[in-house]
Amino acid sequence: MSQSRSPHKLPPLANLIFLSRWLQLPLYLDLILAQYVYVYHFWVELVDLICAALGNCILRPDHDHHTTNCRYESPLK
The confidence score (pLDDT) of residue 68 equals 47
State pLDDT tens for residues 9-64. Answer: 888 898 888 888 899 999 999 999 999 999 999 999 999 898 888 887 665 555 55
Give the separation between CA 58 and CA 72, rounded to whole angstroms. Answer: 6
pTM of the model: 0.51
How many separate domains does the chain show? 1
52 part of a folded domain: yes
Whether residue 1 is contained in a domain is answered as no
Q: Give strand ranges (E) for the chain.
A: 58-59, 71-72
Judge whether 15 lies within some domain.
no
Please report whether residue 65 resides in a domain: yes
Cα 15 from Cα 27, distance rounded (Å): 21
Q: Is the torsion defined by CA of 47, 52, 57, 58 positive or negative?
A: positive
